[in-house]
Each structure stands twice: as C-alpha cells, then as structure tokens.
Amino acid sequence: MPLTFTGRRAAAAAVTAALLVPLAACGSDTESDSGSKTDSGATNTPKAGLTVLAAASLTDVFKTAGAAYEKSHPGTKITFSFAGSQELAAQVKQGAPADALVTADTKTMDALKADTGAPTVIAKNRLVIATGEGNPQKVGSLKDLADTKLKVVLAAPEVPVGRYSQKILDAQKITVKPVSQEPNVRAVLSKVELGEADAGLVYKTDAATATDKVDAIEIPDAQNAIAEYPAATLKTSKNSAAAEAFVKWLSSAEAQKIFKDADFQQP
C-alpha cells in the first residue's frame, strides 16, 4: 500500500532520529581542542609531559606521588630528575629544560627568584643519625659522633642536609671530622648501608627507606633542625599551565597524605 504524505513525513522523522542517537552518544565523551575531556569525569588540567627537578630526598615519595597524579590526570606524564638541591639550582641557571623545581631548603629556592614562580612549601623533614643495622657502634646521640674512632659521613656543606647537619652540630658545640662529604643525602645513606661509614646524618624519611639495612637514632627536637621543601614552576617551562597545576596539587589533601605516609611532616 503506498504511503500517504503524512506517512512519509513520519517515516523521515523516524530515520532522522535513528541517525542522531549514535551521534549524541559519541558527543557525550568528546575531547575539547586542548585535549581535556568534557564529560562528567573530566578534568580541566592541561595535558602535557612535565619534567620536574627534585631534591634527592624526595626520590621515593615522588615516585608514588607522580603515579597518583598521572592516574588522576590522564594524558599527563611526569619525568623526575633527582639530585642535590645545589645541583638542581645549577641546572636551572644553565637553562636545563624543565617545568618545575622542588628543593630541600628555602635558601636554594630563594636564590632562584628570577627563574621561578612564587614557591610554596609542600612538606617538612627532620634529621636522624643513621647507623648500620643493629647499631653495632652503640651510637646514642649527637655527641657520640665526635668520637674519632667512629667513621662518620656527612653531606657537603653546600648541600641542604649538609648545612642542616652542621647547624645542629655547631649548636651543640660538637666537632665532627667526617671521613667523606657527599653530594646528596642518598649518597650519605648509601655509605652507611654499605658499611663504609659507622654513622651519618640523614633525613628521617631517607632512613625509613632502608630499615632493613640501617637503624635511625632519633635526635631530640631541641637539638634538631627542620627542613622545608618549597616547590615552584620554572619561568622557562613550555607547559606553564600544566606545571602550575602540578605544583598546586602538591598541597592538596591527596598529595599531603602521600607525604605523611612517607614520614614527611606537614608544611
């Protein structure tokens, strides 16, 4: 039976509706020109590959933090470059391609004001005495480090942990003659782990990464120093918006829990 005019209109409308259904479904999860999803699970954070220069003492916690950030910010990939803060500062001055910087002290960061955005302290730390497993030399306090029979290793004075170490030793009028001065805190820890030193001053969080190889002797608060970790974007970043988003995230509840779980103190 041939279709009437009214029937033909109804059939055309049905076909048009059928064609629009899949288009609408596809449109619910499209991406914007910047690559950010526009559906309900989306984020407005720009997607980019970021390079972050970070203090050596952040090695373990930043691996965890970076993975968490990438998971919650699809499309962003973070590459960390770890070294002593003084080495990182030199890299920045030399124009190394990077997007953000996190140092283990405010002094180093403050010296780079012309190269960074406004810094934010994201975590704090404190020092402990690291000894061989079981503390075979029976080190009990800072004053024991003055024993010339003890092989003590410290970080070099230009390294933040080296400055903190010298500060607390000077405050207690303790003279230590280290068998070596290392370029970063991880090198100090390694010397103790390998038995090349009897003791060394390291951050509490670094000692916590090697509990099967070293013992950590607590230093009383009145004799200790607090290390602060400022984070900032670099003005030479080619991904400034994404870098700013990551630096801001480091102060978020999610990131702060990661720091706390790694024994860092809250800023």
Segments making up each domain of the chain, as ranges:
49-124+228-261, 125-226
- What is the SS3 assignment for 230? strand
Give the DSSP H/E element, type plus range, for residue 6. Answer: helix 5-27
Give the predicted TM-score (pTM) of the model. Answer: 0.81
- 231-251 in b/e form (b: 16+ CB < 10 A) is bbbbeebebbebbbbbbebbe
At residue 222, the 3 state secondary structure works out as: helix
CA R_g for the chain: 27
The answer regarding whether domain 125-226 maps to CATH 3.40.50.300 reads no
Query: What would be the CATH architecture of the domain defined by 49-124+228-261?
Result: 3-Layer(aba) Sandwich (3.40)
Which segment of 21-25, 86-90, 105-109 scores lowest on mean pLDDT?
21-25
Q: Is residue 96 exposed (0-12), middle (13-18) or buried (19+ Cβ within 10 Å)? A: middle
Least confidently predicted of 15-24, 104-113, 222-231 = 15-24
pLDDT band at 18 (very low <50, low <70, confident <90, very high): very low
Q: Within a 10 A sphere around the Cβ of 160, how many other Cβ atoms?
A: 27
- The mean pLDDT of 107-122, rounded to a whole number, is 97
Helix intervals (H) in 28-159: 59-72, 85-93, 106-110
> Does residue 183 contact residue 155 with C-beta atoms inside 8 Å?
yes
The yes-or-no answer to whether 49-124+228-261 and 125-226 have a common fold is yes
Question: Does residue 37 or residue 177 have the better pLDDT?
Answer: 177
Is residue 15's pLDDT more than 80?
Answer: no
Alpha helices in 147-239 (DSSP H): 160-171, 185-193, 204-207
Q: Is 81 helix (H, G, I), strand (E, B) or coil?
A: strand
Interval 10-35 mean pLDDT: 39
As a whole number of angstroms, the distance between CA 54 and CA 10 comes to 66
pLDDT at 16: 42
125, 205 contact by CB (below 8 A)? yes
Q: Is the dihedral of CA 153, 157, 163, 169 positive or negative?
A: positive
Residues 199-226 have pLDDT tens digits of 999 999 999 999 999 999 999 999 999 9
Question: Nearest 10 degrees: CA dihedral of 161, 162, 165, 166?
Answer: -150
